[in-house]
Amino acid sequence: MLLPESPTAPDEAVNVIGFSLLEANNGLQQFQPSWFNVWEASLFKKAQRKSGYTQWLFNRFGFDQDPGVHAGDRLRNADYRDCLRAMTMACKQAMDSVDRKNALLIRRERTALIYFDSWGETSLFEGVTSWRDSLSLDMLPRSIARDYAVKDFSCKLRGEHNGFLMGLRVAIDRLNSGGIDTVLLCGQFRSFPVLVLSQAALATSQQRDRTPTDQRRSHISVERAGCVILRKAPQQGIALHLADYVLLADKPDTAVDQLASRWQATLTDNCAGILGGTHTSKKLQSIEKQALSRLVSPPPFLSLSTDFGDSGCLNPMLALQHLRVSHRPEDYLDRQILVNAMDGQGAAWLMECWPHEVKP
C-alpha cells in the first residue's frame, strides 16, 4: 500500500501556540487495601485479576506528608486545592510561553475557555465545603475565566478517557467556524483510588496473563493539570488535526485490522513516529502492538502512559510534552507524528501533530 504524499498538516488543523503540563511532585505512594474498607479491597483484588498488575502506585496533588495520619487515608483524602492551583499555574505558564504579538491579540480578540476532567462532578469525592471551590471543580475554574476575561464562549466537558480529545474537537470546530479567535483548553486528572481501581476492574482481558507474579509491572497513576492555547496560526507551534472517533469491532483480530488500516491510510512518508495515548490496559496495548506489526513500514512507537504514568484523559496531551522536552526536537520539525488513543469503550481517536517549532 502506498503512503499519502501530503507533507503538511490538513487545512482544518489548529495550532498550539502555548502549552504547559504540570504533575504532582509528592512521589509515588503504594495503595494498600485495608480491612475497614471492604469495597476498595474488593475492587483491588478484581483489578489485579483483570489487569495482571500486582500493585498500584499513585502520585497525587495535595498528599498529606504527616506520618501520624494513616497512609491509606492520606492517599484517599488528598487535598484538591493543590490541583486547582496547579491548573491555574499551568494556564499562567502556557500564557507566558506565548510570544508578545499573540499575547496582545489574545487580550483584544475573542477568547473561549473549554474545561475538562475525567470523572465529572467530583465535589462529593473531594469533600468540598466551599461553594466557590465546588463551582471551580464541577463547572468552570472561576479564577481562569476571570484572569483572562473570557466572555465569548465557555463550557465544561466530561469525557472520561476522552476528555482532552473531546475538548480539542470542540476547540477545532469553534476556531474553524470563525466565531472564536483563541481557545484556552485546560483540564485536570484526579486519580481517586476507588475510581481508578473500579475502571481497571471493569476492563476485560484479551487472554490469560501468564507472566510470573514477581515480573509484572506496577500500574502508575499520576495526577496532572494542563493548559493548551490554540489559534489558527499557520507555521507556528504544533499543528493539530483530529480524525473522527471510530468504533472498533468487538473481536480483537478485527479491531487490530481496523486500527492498522486507519494508521496506514493516515501515515505519510514523512512520519516520525506513533505515540500511544491509551491508558495502561493489557488488551488495548496488545491491539496497538499487533496493529503496528501489520503496517507496511512501521515507524517508531512509544507508549506514553507506560513510560510516563497513566493520567486518564490527559494521556494524549503527554504527546505535546514529549515533543517539547525531546532530547532532539529538531528530529520532529515539519514531520508528522500520530497519537493513537483508545478509550476502553471500544473506540479510538487518531490525532496528527505537525511541529513547526519545538522548544526544548
Helix, strand, coil % over all residues of the chain, rounded to 5? 40, 25, 40
What pLDDT score was predicted for residue 360?
Answer: 38
Round to whole Å and give the CA distance between 123 and 107. 32
What pLDDT score was predicted for residue 184?
Answer: 96
CB 44 within 8 A of CB 219: no
> Edge-to-edge, what's the strand order for the sheet holding 219-222?
29-30, 56-59, 219-222
In the block, cell 510470573 appears at: 212
pTM score: 0.90
- For residue 21, what are the β-bridge partners? 226
Query: pLDDT (tens digit, 0 to 9) for every residue of the chain, 360 residues total?
Result: 333 344 466 668 899 999 999 999 988 999 988 877 888 889 999 998 888 888 999 999 999 877 766 667 788 889 999 999 999 999 999 999 998 888 888 888 999 999 999 888 888 888 888 888 898 888 889 889 988 889 899 999 877 788 999 999 999 999 999 999 999 999 999 999 999 998 888 765 544 455 544 445 789 999 999 999 999 988 888 999 999 889 999 898 999 999 999 999 999 988 999 999 887 777 888 899 999 999 988 999 999 988 899 999 999 999 999 998 876 777 788 899 999 998 877 789 999 999 986 443
What pLDDT score was predicted for residue 358?
Answer: 46
What pLDDT score was predicted for residue 131?
Answer: 87
Q: What is the CA radius of gyration of the chain?
A: 20
What pLDDT score was predicted for residue 359?
Answer: 45
In sequence order, the 6+-apart residues with CB closer than 8 A to the CB of 14 are 171, 172, 175, 176, 183, 230, 231, 232, 239, 240
Across the chain, which distance is largest between two alpha carbons, in Å?
63
In sequence order, the 6+-apart residues with CB closer than 8 A to the CB of 296 are 1, 3, 264
Round to whole Å and give the CA distance between 136 and 213. 42
What pLDDT score was predicted for residue 181?
Answer: 94
Coil, strand or helix at 191? coil
pLDDT, tens digit, 9 for 90 and up, residues 107-144: 889 999 999 998 888 888 888 888 888 988 888 898 89
C-alpha cell at 117: 476532567
What pLDDT score was predicted for residue 142?
Answer: 86
Round to whole Å and give the CA distance between 327 and 344. 31
pLDDT, tens digit, 9 for 90 and up, residues 325-357: 876 777 788 899 999 998 877 789 999 999 986
